[in-house]
Amino acid sequence: MKLRFLGTGTSFGVPVIGCRCATCTSADPRDRRTRHAALVTEGGRRLLVDTPPELRLQLVSAGVPMVDAIWFTHCHADHVHGMDDVRVFSERTGAPMPMYADPECAATLRQRFAYVFDPRIRPTEGTSKPEAELTEVRAYEPVQVAGFAVTPLPVPHGPLQVYGFRVGDLGYVTDGKRLPARTAQALQGVRVLVLNALWFGHPHPTHFSVEEAVEAARSVGAERTYLTHLSHRASHAELDARLPGGVFAAYDGLEVEV
């Protein structure tokens, strides 16, 4: 199994509009962070995690011709507002794209993107729209997704529950503030762990800081932990220099073997 980080930035992305900080003006390509997305692949199967605004650019850059299913972690704009880029897949296959989300996020998707999910809304003849089949997932209840056995893992994100997952030896958690006991237990034994981390220093009310993510990683004990959903307040070089052994900063385009 392989994991490719398509986008590793926060909702602002990096560079941030109008910012002239060291990270936003860096020449290091690892400091260019588009909004959050990832791709899990194995045996020709491709599971896409989230549909951020830069999705088309991310998939073109990665040379991804097709995905088999989409997992939505939650419905914040930076994670779903690339929805229309999914149109190419359903148009190419003639079949709806399988999508998976928790009940709250599913309700939001149906309301926000009614043109995708309401079967009464049809495109004008000669045009197209994304076609999708939405399945609701429940916390800790494994589900088959494009041939992957996926366990949904909720984490708190302010008033929301974000749904990370475990698939095989991979644990994936973005936009979380802490690991609830049952989620932490479900992650025990993973070889590769992904956690969100905004910045060093002061805490954030809905996200891990780098220090909090490192502590959460220690509690899970994965061989390798990769940090994503990174802000512009730390460059890749600074993260590399300050992170402990076994914890790494992800960057757009990084592919790791699980």
Which CATH number goes with the domain that contains 121? 3.60.15.10
Coil, helix or strand at residue 190: coil
Q: What's the rounded Cα separation, in Å, for the pair 60 and 53? A: 13
Per-residue pLDDT at 146 = 95
Q: Report the C-alpha gap between 21 and 27 in whole angstroms.
A: 12
pLDDT at 202: 87
How far apart, in whole angstroms, are the C-alpha atoms of residue 87 and residue 92?
Answer: 8
User: What order of strands is seen across the sheet that includes strand 45-49?
Assistant: 132-136, 97-101, 69-71, 45-49, 37-42, 2-7, 255-257
Give the burial class of 127: count Cβ atoms within 10 A of its Cβ; 0-12 exposed, 13-18 middle, 19 or more buried: exposed
Residue-level pLDDT, tens digit, the chain, 258 residues: 999 999 999 999 999 999 999 999 999 999 999 999 999 999 999 999 999 999 999 999 999 999 999 999 999 999 999 999 999 999 999 999 999 999 999 999 999 999 999 999 999 998 999 999 999 999 999 999 999 999 999 999 999 999 999 999 999 999 999 999 999 999 999 999 999 999 999 899 999 999 999 999 999 999 999 999 999 999 999 999 999 999 999 999 999 999
Cα torsion angle, 81, 86, 88, 90, sign = negative
Range of the domain at 168: 2-257
Specify the number of domains making up the chain: 1
